[in-house]
Amino acid sequence: MGKYPEFDYYHVCLPVSASCGISMSQSTWLPWDPGHQELWLNSIPPEAICLENQEFPFFKVGMSDYDFQSKFCQWLHREKEAVRTAVLVGIRAQESLNRYNAVTREETFSRFGTTNYSHRISQDVFNFYPMYDWLFEDIWRANAKFELDYNHLYDLYYQAGVPYKSMRVANPFHQCGVHSLKLYQALEPASWGKLVGRVNGSNFAALYGGTAAMGYRGAVLPKGHTWKSYVEFLLETLPEETRKVYLKKFKSSMDYWMKTGGALPENVIDELEELGSDFERLGPPTNKRKYKQRYEVIRFKDYPDDVPIKNFRLVPSYKRMCITILKNDTSCQYMGFGQTKDELQKKQEAMEKWETFL
């Protein structure tokens, strides 16, 4: 910290919730949890901003990490009385399709001028993604040429023969990092024991992350089951509160696809017809969304058990429900769901509960 005198440093060690894709009983976890200091992997550095000395008017214990980042940038903009504020974000389009879409979308109303790798956070505060088109090789070419600092965990990854696409240095419990959680056992054995006790499901995810047991590489249907009966079996194994979350989302999906109808690309509908799937064609969508290809609304007469087509994830099925459960995806993003008002309300209630620590 403080290596470059040109910068003001804000080393934040606050309990903001982070995504958790490995536990059957919790969809997020809380770094620097004030109620469980015995589980912390490290001590808070003396110069850091923590619960005892923070003065952020927007902060609430348990707020999401992304929400904190956004509100921090807006707060700093006001504190500095800035005309405009640029927030530099190091995401690259090569890393994932979601990140590619984030920096290459065609709409212009949220950009800064004509800069396509920008996005408005609030009035006069913009995110910029200057490395969006950098490749993996570009990163390390720059590190070598300019002798830049970097996290030396990457050296261990390289020496262990880890493919560059799996060299993840981030929230170890995130859904996207499940397949590489096992690397901590070999590369940071001193930290591994603490990680196992930090979040329920860590050891299981290390053993089976990236396999069918965690919903990756193709779920396997147990003998004697249909995908529907397998969903019912998996639901029975879950804690009651978690089971209710899934049941509510699954019912919503079934009502939508069997009563209202959903829009699918015409090429996907053609594949469904070739399979003999039983559905009604209701014509083109009537919403104002701009589609890049021809879509049509269809309504299923029965909820499909399995849909063995190329774009399997787009189409509702009990198999898709199984994969969602195996991924511990309580938000059901794999099925296309976003956060509901109820989920946002529960999040708000959780933050209010933790305010007693402030």
Which of 156-165, 169-178, 268-277 has the lowest average pLDDT? 169-178
Tokens standing for residue 259:
């009563």
Closest CA to 56 of 16, 104, 108: 16
311, part of any domain: yes
d(CA 29, CA 233): 26
Which amino acid, residue 185?
Q
How many structural domains compose the chain? Answer: 1
350, part of any domain: no
Q: What is the pLDDT of residue 201?
A: 44
Burial, 38: exposed, middle or buried (Cβ in 10 Å; 0-12, 13-18, 19+)?
exposed
Q: What is the pLDDT of residue 203?
A: 41
Q: Give the tens place of pLDDT for each residue, 56-85.
A: 999 999 898 889 999 999 999 999 999 999
Tell me the average pLDDT across 293-298.
92
241, part of any domain: yes
d(CA 257, CA 316): 7
Determine contact, residues 94/49, Cβ cutoff 8 Å. no
What mean pLDDT, rounded, does the chain reach?
80
Residue 165 makes CB contacts below 8 A (sequence gap 6+) with 136
Q: In the chain, pLDDT over 70 holds for what percent of residues?
A: 76
217, part of any domain: no
Is residue 19 over pLDDT 50?
A: yes
Q: CA quadruple 143, 147, 153, 155: dihedral positive or negative?
A: positive
196, part of any domain: no
pLDDT bucket at 272, cuts 50 / 70 / 90 = very high
pLDDT bucket at 103, cuts 50 / 70 / 90 = confident
Q: What is the pLDDT of residue 39?
A: 77
Q: What is the pLDDT of residue 194?
A: 61
Tokens standing for residue 116:
């396509």
Residue with tokens 């959903």: 262
Q: What is the pLDDT of residue 257?
A: 96
Q: What is the pLDDT of residue 267?
A: 92
The whole model's pTM is what? Answer: 0.57
Closest CA to 298 of 316, 279, 312, 317: 279
Domain around 231: 227-326
167, part of any domain: no
316, part of any domain: yes
289, part of any domain: yes
Over 181-244, what HEC string results?
A: CCHHHHHCHHHHHHHHHHCCCHHHHHHHCCCHHHCCCCCCCCCCCCHHHHHHHHHHCCCHHHHH
pLDDT bucket at 175, cuts 50 / 70 / 90 = low
